[in-house]
Amino acid sequence: MSRSKLSFRELAFESPAYFESIKLRDRILRKPLGLQFKPEDLVREGSDYHLALMDENAKLIACLVLTPIDKERVRMRQVAVEESAQGRGIGRQLVVKAESFARKKGYREMSCHARSVVLPFYLKMNYKIVEGPFTEVGIEHYKMSKKL
C-alpha cells in the first residue's frame, strides 16, 4: 500500500467511519490488554477530534483521537494503525497531519501518554518526555509533549 494513495480525514462523531475507527482501536489497542470500550468511554469522545488515514478504497488504515485540554493544548490519544500497514511510515504520516490539523485549530502544544514500546517513535518525532514512567491501563507509559 502506497502512502501517496492515503487520504487524511476528520471523522464525524458517531459516523460509520467513526465506528470503524473504534473497531480498529479496539483490535489494536484494547483487546491485547484484555480491555474493551464501555459506552461511557465513547460518550466522552463527542467533543474530540477523530482523525484518520483512508486507503484508495476509503478503508480506514490508521486513526487517532485529539482531546482538547484547553485553548492552546491538545492531547493525542488512541493512535492505531492496521497490522498490515505497520512499519511503513503510516503512523508517522498520521501524526504529522494531526499536528498540522491541531496547529490550524490554534493549538500550540500536543501531548500524549506513550506506551514504553513506542517511545522511540515519538522521540524521533521530537516529542519530549515530561513525566514517567507511570502505569496506565496496566502497562508502562510516559507523558510526552511537543510544541506545535
In a domain, 127, yes or no: no
**Predicted local distance difference test score (pLDDT) of residue 1:** 45
pTM: 0.92
In a domain, 34, yes or no: yes
In a domain, 19, yes or no: yes
- The rounded Cα 83 to chain-centroid distance in angstroms is 15
Q: Which three cell numbers stand for residue 93?
A: 504520516
In a domain, 120, yes or no: no
Identify whether the C-beta of residue 143 lies closer than 8 Å to the C-beta of residue 131. Answer: yes
Tell me the CATH number at 37. Answer: 3.40.630.30
In a domain, 97, yes or no: yes
pLDDT tens profile 7-35: 999 999 999 999 999 999 999 998 888 88
**Range(s) of the domain holding residue 103:** 3-111
In a domain, 132, yes or no: no
Q: How many structural domains comprise the chain?
A: 1
pLDDT by residue for the chain (148 residues), tens only, comes to: 444 589 999 999 999 999 999 999 999 998 888 888 777 778 789 999 999 999 999 999 999 999 999 999 999 999 999 999 988 999 999 999 999 999 999 999 999 999 999 999 999 999 999 998 999 888 999 999 999 9
**Predicted local distance difference test score (pLDDT) of residue 2:** 45
